[in-house]
A and B are shown apart, each in its own frame.
Chain A
Amino acid sequence: MTPLAKLLEAALFASARPVPTEELLALDPEASRAAVAAALEEIREHYDVEGHGVELTEIGGGWQILTRAEYTEAIERAQLAARPARLSAAALETLALIAYRQPLGRAEIEEIRGVSVGSVLKSLHERGLIDVVGRGEGLGRPLLYGTTPIFLEYFALRHLEELPRSDELAIALRAEPRAL
């Protein structure tokens, strides 16, 4: 591998979070954007072609080294790492609405889901999947929620636009997804 690819590999290995391209660029002031992109491609190919247990993934607006899915069972059995608990149906429904219609207030979510969502919003907020992004007009200036980078990471999305567009769904959604 080229020295730049090795440097990026080391940086990605050291980081617990996906590393955005901007931060990778800062590692070597000499390196151009194209050189970093080529080095990332080199790492990815290296992992894929030579058959490594990890792979390079573009995720949540950055790059991250992840273990390959086929080793998950064994790793978890050995208790070296544990998969995060699955989100409940209530949490997923709430997240789906926020992802597509953000910024979105609690009243709108409750209207669509037909149930109260106070505790679900709290737990999503605690897990860092959503955050308060503003306040709406109207009585009490309600808090408006939006998704966070952790949301993208949790669902292995590069950006929000990777979700199916509303007109690609079997039933078109009322509102277009908005970029963060």
Chain B
Amino acid sequence: MMEVPPTAGAELPGPASFVVELTDFSGPLDLLLTLIREEQVDIYDIPIARVAEQFLQRIRTLQLNEAADYLEMAARLLRIKAQLLLPRPEGDEGWDDPRAELVRRLLEYQQMREVVDVLERAGEERRNRFARAYLPQAAAPPESPLALSLSELLAAVDRILRVTKDPGVHDVVPRAIDVPGAIGVIRALLALRAHARWTDLVTRGAEPWQVLSTLLGLLEMAKLGECRVQQPRPFANVEITRDAASEAA
């Protein structure tokens, strides 16, 4: 996302809206520094009452009064102004200038602006020179199932229909799938063999709920890191490998 740089003669934001990026200021400290510069006052001895007045004036004309950041600064200025009105203790010793924290922040902000100038110049220099625009192509996506021919698709459907028994009948069973049971079966198989195939787990004539349970159980185990599941190409037999890492753990 790029913010729109401030442009001369840009539309004034409506009364109910404020867009800080469209103004000439990037924040309350920026505005404050500008005021101090315009008033030509010493940053270490800011006439708070006058600057606070100007600040409020400015955020009113900028229609920024909704901006919490600016209001927070306005409140801070007014508080410092109030603190300065309090009588000081006898002698100036032990009196902390309430402006000190503000001065520190302004100086810090000014340092940052100096770095911004450096970066801006450097960025402009680089912007004006082009590099080769070649972008490496994204890794080739896996073969799309849409590239299948109709006969391949029908053959796949046929295989599924042959494996599942009587697919046309819908029996509502109380516990349609049994994932923990399937996990138990897969664990038992993997305990015996490091490698297994999908067809070892789901035999011909398996009920749809058994196929589903086995699939969900397998995915769950892969998620838990107990096994790895690979399919070399679409519709190929799924290869299941016991995960050596989880065994060691």
Contact = CB atoms under 8 A, between A and B. Distances in A.
Interface of A: 13-16, 55, 57, 59, 64-69, 72, 75, 81, 83-93, 95-97, 99-100, 111-116, 119, 122-123, 126, 153-157, 163-164, 166, 169-174
B130 A72 contact: yes
| Central interface residue in B21, B26, B126, B129, by most chain A CB within 10 Å | B129
A111 B119 CA distance: 21
A169 B55 CA distance: 28
A173 B111 contact: yes
B127 A86 contact: yes
A45 to B, nearest CB: 19
A81 B131 CA distance: 9
B42 to A, nearest CB: 15
B118 interface: yes
A54 to B, nearest CB: 9
A157 to B, nearest CB: 7
Contact of A170 (B1, B26, B114, B133): B114
A90 B3 contact: yes
B1 A66 contact: no
Contact of B130 (A59, A81, A91, A93): A81
Given A67-B130, A72-B129, A114-B105, A90 B21 contact: yes
A55 B129 CA distance: 10
B3 to A, nearest CB: 3
21 contacts: A14-B134, A16-B135, A81-B133, A83-B127, A85-B2, A86-B124, A89-B116, A93-B26, A95-B119, A96-B119, A97-B115, A113-B112, A114-B73, A155-B119, A155-B126, A156-B125, A156-B129, A169-B114, A171-B111, A174-B108, A174-B111
Contact of B134 (A16, A95, A172): A16
Contacts of A90: 3, 20-21, 26-27
| Central interface residue in B73, B113, B119, B122, by most chain A CB within 10 Å | B119
B128 interface: yes
Contacts of B130: 66-67, 72, 75, 81
B108 A64 contact: no
Contact of B21 (A59, A81, A88, A157): A88
B80 interface: no
Nearest to A177: B115
Interface residues of B, number: 45
Interface in B72-112: 72-73, 105, 107-112
Nearest to B134: A16
Contacts of B4: 88
Contacts of A86: 2, 5, 123-124, 127
Contact of A116 (B6, B69, B113): B69
B39 interface: no
A16 B107 CA distance: 40
Contact of B129 (A68, A96, A126, A164): A68
Nearest to B24: A89
Contacts of A65: 131-132
Given A88-B2, A154-B123, A164-B118, A112 B112 contact: yes
B5 A96 contact: no
Given A69-B125, A91-B3, A156-B122, A99 B21 contact: no
Contacts of A123: 1-3
Given A114-B69, A154-B123, A66 B131 contact: yes
Contacts of B118: 96, 163-164
B116 A93 contact: yes
B28 interface: yes
B136 interface: yes
Given A15-B132, A114-B29, 17 more contacts: A15-B134, A16-B131, A16-B134, A55-B129, A66-B131, A90-B3, A90-B21, A91-B3, A96-B112, A96-B119, A97-B112, A111-B105, A114-B73, A115-B26, A115-B27, A164-B115, A171-B111
